[in-house]
Amino acid sequence: MGLTGIQILKKLPKKNCEECGYPTCMAFAMKVAAGQADINACPYVDPAVKEEIAEASAPPVRIIKLGGGEYTYSLGGETVLFRHEKRFENPPLIGTFISTEMQEEEITRRIKLYKQLQWERVGIKLKPEVLCLQDKGNGNKLQEITQRIRNELPWVALILSSLNSDTLRKAIEICGDFKPLIYGANSQNFEEFVQLALETKVPLTIIGNSLDEVSQLSEKALQKGLKELVLDPGSQGVKELFEDLIIIRRSAIKKRFKPFGFPIITFPYRYTDFYLLEILIASVAVCKYASLILLSDLKAEALYNLMVEKMNIYTDPQKPLVVEEGIYPVNGPDEYSPVVITCNFALTYFIVNGEIESSRIPTWLLIKNTDGLSVLTAWAAGKFGADSIAEFVKKCGIEEKIKHRKLEIPGYLAGIKGELEDELPGWEIIVGPREASGLPSALKKLYQEIKESAGVKKDKKVEKETVKEIKEKKETEEKPEEKKVEEIKPKESEVKKEEKISVVSIVSSEEKKEEKVEKIKPREKKGVICIAESINIMSKKIGGAMKARDPKPIQDMAKEETELGADYLDLNIGPAKKNGTEFASWIVKVVEEVVDTPISLDTTNPEAMIAGIKASKKPDKCLINSITIQPERLEKLGPFAAEIGCDVVALLWGAEGLPRDANERAALAVELITKLNEYGIPNEKIWIDPIITPITLGAEQLKESFIFLSMLSEIAPGAKTTVGLSNVSNGVAFRLRPYLNRVLLMMLMKYNIYSAIVDVYDKELVEIAKGKHPDWVALVHKMMDGDEVDSKTLSPKELEIYKTVKVLTGETIFSESWLEI
Residues contributing to the site for ligand SF4 (CB under 6 A): 12-13, 15-20, 22, 25, 28, 42, 44
β-strands 623-627, 599-603: how paired?
parallel
CB of 17 to ligand SF4, least distance (A): 4
CA distance from start to end of the chain: 31
Identify which of residues 94 and 670 has a Cβ nearer to ligand SF4 in the complex. Answer: 670
525, 567 Cβ separation under 8 angstroms? yes
User: Measured from the CB of residue 715, what is the shortest distance to ligand SF4 in angstroms?
Assistant: 15
Residue 337: partners with Cβ closer than 8 Å, 6 or more residues away: 361, 362, 363, 364, 402, 447, 450
CA–CA gap between residue 222 and residue 62 (Å, rounded): 12
User: What percent helix, strand, coil does the chain show, rounded to 5?
Assistant: 50, 15, 35
CB of 63 to ligand SF4, least distance (A): 24
Dist. CA 273–CA 136, nearest whole Å: 21
The minimum distance between CB 20 and ligand SF4, in angstroms, equals 3
Left, alpha or beta for 667 (phi > 0: left; psi -120 to 50: alpha)? Answer: alpha
Shortest Å distance, C-beta 8 to ligand SF4: 9
**C-beta of 30: minimal distance to ligand SF4 in Å?**
11
Closest approach of Cβ 87 to ligand SF4, in Å? 27
Q: How far is the CB of 4 from ligand SF4 (least distance, A)?
A: 16
Cα 547 to Cα 506: distance, rounded to the nearest angstrom? 21
Nearer to ligand SF4, 44 or 734 (CB): 44
Nearest to 367 by CA among 389, 382, 385: 389
- Residue number, 49 or 287, with CB nearest to ligand SF4: 49
343's CB contacts (< 8 A; 6+ apart) are: 349, 367, 368, 370, 373, 374, 375, 378, 383, 384
**Shortest CB 48 distance to ligand SF4, Å:** 16
Q: Rounded CA gap, 360 and 462, in Å?
A: 10
d(CA 628, CA 418): 31
Q: Which is nearer to ligand SF4, 10 or 239 (CB)?
A: 10
Q: What is the 3-state secondary structure (H, E, C) of 700-756?
A: HHHHHHHHHHHHHHHHCCCCEECCEHHHHHCCCCHHHHHHHHHHHHHHHHCCCCCEE
> With respect to ligand SF4, which residue has the nearer C-beta, 45 or 253?
45
Are 169 and 200 in contact by the 8 Å Cβ rule? The answer is yes
3-state DSSP assignment of residue 72: strand
Q: In the complex, what is the shortest distance from the CB of residue 25 to ligand SF4, in angstroms, rounded to a whole number?
A: 3
**At its nearest, how many Å lie between ligand SF4 and the CB of residue 493?**
52
User: Cα separation of 84 and 86, whole Å?
Assistant: 5
Closest by CA to 547, choosing from 568, 569, 574, 513, is 574
Three-state secondary structure string covering 90-130: CCCEEEEEEECCCCHHHHHHHHHHHHHCCEEECCEEECCCE
Q: How far is the CB of 49 from ligand SF4 (least distance, A)?
A: 11
What's phi and psi for 257, nearest 5 deg? -80, 105
Q: How far is the CB of 41 from ligand SF4 (least distance, A)?
A: 7
Neighbour-count burial of 817, counting CB atoms closer than 10 A to its CB (0-12 exposed, 13-18 middle, 19+ buried): exposed
409 to 7, 322, 329, 578: CA distances (angstroms): 51, 19, 17, 18
CA–CA separation, 128 and 114 (whole Å): 6
List, in order, residues 6 or more apart from 28 with CB less than 8 Å away.
12, 20, 21, 22, 37, 41, 42
One-letter amino acid of 718 = G
Among 626, 564, 561, CA closest to 591: 561
User: Considering the complex, what minimum distance in angstroms separates the CB of residue 29 from ligand SF4?
Assistant: 7
Select 19 or 632, whichever has its Cβ closest to ligand SF4. 19
Nearer to ligand SF4 by Cβ, of 28 and 751: the residue is 28
Round to whole Å and give the CA distance between 112 and 30.
Answer: 49
CA distance 295 to 591: 67
Nearer to ligand SF4, 12 or 231 (CB): 12
Least separation, in Å, of the C-beta of 531 and ligand SF4? 37
Nearer to ligand SF4, 7 or 331 (CB): 7
Closest contact distance (angstroms) between CB of 518 and ligand SF4 is 57
Segment holding 431, helix H or strand E: strand 428-431
Least distance (Å) between residue 46 CB and ligand SF4: 12
Distance between CA atoms of residues 523 and 596, nearest Å = 10
Q: Closer to ligand SF4 at the Cβ: 19 or 643?
A: 19
Which residues 6+ apart lie within 8 Å of 106 measured at CB?
none
Tell me if residue 600 falls in helix, strand or coil: strand
- Closer of 31 and 497 to ligand SF4 (Cβ): 31
Name the residue type at position 612: G
Q: 533: closest CA among 444, 442, 613, 600?
A: 600
Nearest distance, CB of residue 43 and ligand SF4, angstroms = 6
